[in-house]
Structure 1
């Protein structure tokens, strides 16, 4: 007598499966905020704090302070998209620039958006560069751009690794490399995703701002109490 085959395990309810997928997506979410003209000073502070090596990899040359400042001063926020990640103290620890060109950069190719990113050394190894790339690709896709372009030094391994992981085609020409990532057309879902990202990042920024202000208030109260205590002590001795 043959044994009856084991009964199949009950499948997970579709609702639980959907919740699990949502949880996986947002569990390691990183707040990425769109930057504007009012953030020029913070962007400059971020880029000027990069090491000489990091400046070389970001711009393709050892950018001096005045060159970085000129780059920041000429950022076109109405045309391009600049994205940033803030830490708890509201310091920019990572910045990405998605530059749009009014015409194709290369003959025979469709109009592309060029991506550049920088991450402070203290914030490395946390996937911020990849997250900024994903967010930039979503924004470009929703603007009808079908190709994301990266021009980087061939020795910029982390940048090229981000591009390859996303499925970009990378071509090397001596000391420089170029990568192209074809983007799918936009959809209702892609626009909703970007809107949710924006609102959540804004809420995160405002929360950090209020917490920073509250912390400053508490520090101020503590300082006043300390001064009063010292004054009282001197009066008592007299």
Structure 2
């Protein structure tokens, strides 16, 4: 493992420190999704507009096609990642699809990445964060290449790939991006485990806060009802 550079006596951190601080300063809780989240995944995808569905799936997917995709997700083989807001709504999700074994002859082990972000949650870098997390998950499982197949007009997706250092090849209306992943390390496994644990803690806290707000709202509603005369007896 590469050792961090020695301090030069200045108060400012070294570049490797800056990278760590920047990553955690912009940290986003990303959870692994399972079968129990299938309905939330379906609802998230069905809420996408016509244009967003076209960019996500590469064709104008109908409700039936979107539902079939959601119901067909293989949680045993693939990895599905999600970001929840304070209302516990799934606002962004990524599908890391592992190529079925055996891998193609002469090709390195690889996985395909796809992502969708709700319109109200855009501009926060959720797509890039999901890509980073998916890359970390993939490298820790021996995957050598992360693959993206997208429409050439899907500028946000291709920008994420290029920013990560992927090689993008355009072929008319479609583009392919390939990102070679570094080997896994102890640090990469610890980093993924820590992020997974913190995401679970974040989700649990959000759930407790939602429950508390529901109780407070219920008490407030009863109090208002009594104050409006709901608890008065019949007039004499």
**TM-score > 0.5 by shorter chain:** yes
4+ long deviations beyond 6 Å: none
- Asked whether the equivalents of residues 97 and 115 of structure 1 are also in contact (C-alpha less than 8 Å), the reply is yes
1:135 to 130, 133, 136: 133
Report deviation, 1:117. Answer: 0.1
Counterpart of 2:147 in structure 1 is 149
Q: Tell me the matched-pair count.
A: 228
Q: Deviations 1:68-123 (Å, cap 9, x if unpaired)? A: 11111110111100000000000011000000012477653212100000001111
Report deviation, 1:237. Answer: 5.4
Structure-to-structure mapping, 1:92-171, within 5 angstroms: 92-103=90-101, 108-171=106-169
Counterpart of 2:5 in structure 1 is none
Relative distance call for 1:19 and 1:176 in structure 2 (3 A) is closer
Using the TM superposition, name which of 172-181 and 108-117 deviates more: 108-117
Secondary structure of the 1:230 match is: helix
Counterpart of 2:201 in structure 1 is 203
Using the TM superposition, name which of 68-77 and 98-107 deviates more: 98-107
Structure 1: runs of 5+ lacking an equivalent? 1-9
Counterpart of 1:86 in structure 2 is 84
* Aligned counterparts of 2:156 and 2:23: Cα–Cα separation in 1: 23
Return the TM-score normalized by structure 1.
0.89
Counterpart of 1:34 in structure 2 is 32
Counterpart of 2:74 in structure 1 is 76
Secondary structure of the 1:218 match is: helix
- Asked whether the equivalents of residues 225 and 231 of structure 2 are also in contact (C-alpha less than 8 Å), the reply is no
Report deviation, 1:20. Answer: 6.0
Report deviation, 1:27. Answer: 1.3
Structure 2: runs of 5+ lacking an equivalent? 1-7
Q: Deviations 1:175-226 (Å, cap 9, x if unpaired)? A: 0000000000001110000000000000000000000110011001111111
- Asked whether the equivalents of residues 104 and 112 of structure 1 are also in contact (C-alpha less than 8 Å), the reply is no
- Asked whether the equivalents of residues 119 and 128 of structure 1 are also in contact (C-alpha less than 8 Å), the reply is yes
Report deviation, 1:236. Answer: 7.6
RMSD: 2.0
Counterpart of 1:231 in structure 2 is 229
Return the TM-score normalized by structure 2.
0.90
Q: Deviations 1:153-188 (Å, cap 9, x if unpaired)? A: 000000000000000000011100000000000011
Secondary structure of the 2:179 match is: strand
* Aligned counterparts of 1:210 and 1:97: Cα–Cα separation in 2: 28
* Aligned counterparts of 1:161 and 1:113: Cα–Cα separation in 2: 19
- Asked whether the equivalents of residues 109 and 142 of structure 2 are also in contact (C-alpha less than 8 Å), the reply is no
Relative distance call for 1:172 and 1:225 in structure 2 (3 A) is same
Counterpart of 2:52 in structure 1 is 54
Higher-Rg member (1/2) = 1
Counterpart of 1:3 in structure 2 is none
- Asked whether the equivalents of residues 104 and 111 of structure 1 are also in contact (C-alpha less than 8 Å), the reply is no
